[in-house]
Amino acid sequence: MHKYAIAGIGAAVLVLLAGGAVYVFSHSRAPVPESGFVASTTPEAPSGVVTDAAPGIPAGDKQYENVAYHFSLDFPGDLTWHEYHENGGALTVTFHKEDDSNGGFQIYITPYTDTQVTAARFRLDEPSGVKLSPTAVVIDGTPASMFFSTNAIMGDTREVWFIKNGFLYEVTTYKELDSWLAGIMQTWKFL
């Protein structure tokens, strides 16, 4: 995985030198570091809140709630969370293990006015262009698309994308954590 990280970093530097980074930064997700989860882009106060003892949460789990982005979900208590505010009102929230092992997921949220994910938006947010085994699922009453993809840093991924309340939500984890993420997504609630 190290050689992919070095190649990815080298490619990012070339893009920056070529001047294309201005467009990429203002129109897509933040760069992904070696751990596979997004790096800080703009330091701002968190918009979400985490609680330990919300009613109905299994022992040891926590609940993340973000009123500004209209959702909450439960997550394993051994994960650390961070928010990264991005250009255009977008937000990335990462949930990962402290030791940066392959145990975590991230949620990318961006304002979105279309009712379906366009091909152009997919290419913008999923540079690999890979969308394998798409499956229709429902997240708290909202239609969603679940699929496998890939990227140079994380390798094979499981993703769930859906649109609600004027936002496009993109949830990503490692492919081998597919069923683990499914359990977390069952706790997703729109506010």
pLDDT tens-digit map of 143-154:
999 999 998 888
End-to-end CA distance of the chain: 38
Query: CA–CA separation, 92 vs 68, rounded Å?
Result: 13
Instruction: Judge contact between 120 and 139, C-beta under 8 A.
Output: no
CATH of domain 2-190: 3.40.1000.10
> What pLDDT score was predicted for residue 126?
93
Greatest Cα pair distance, the chain, in angstroms, is 52
Query: CA–CA separation, 186 vs 188, rounded Å?
Result: 6
Segment 153-173 mean pLDDT: 96
Q: Give per-residue pLDDT as tens, 69-107.
A: 999 999 999 999 999 999 999 999 999 998 867 789 999
Query: CA–CA separation, 94 vs 103, rounded Å?
Result: 11
Q: Which residues does residue 62 pair with via DSSP β-bridges, in sequence order?
A: 75
Cα–Cα separations (whole angstroms), residue 156 to 26, 131, 142, 180: 26, 11, 25, 15
What pTM, to 2 d.p., does this model score? 0.76
Q: Binning pLDDT at 50, 70 and 90, where does residue 51 land?
A: confident
> What pLDDT score was predicted for residue 58?
82
Instruction: Judge contact between 135 and 148, C-beta under 8 A.
Output: no
The residue whose two tokens read 């304002």 is 111
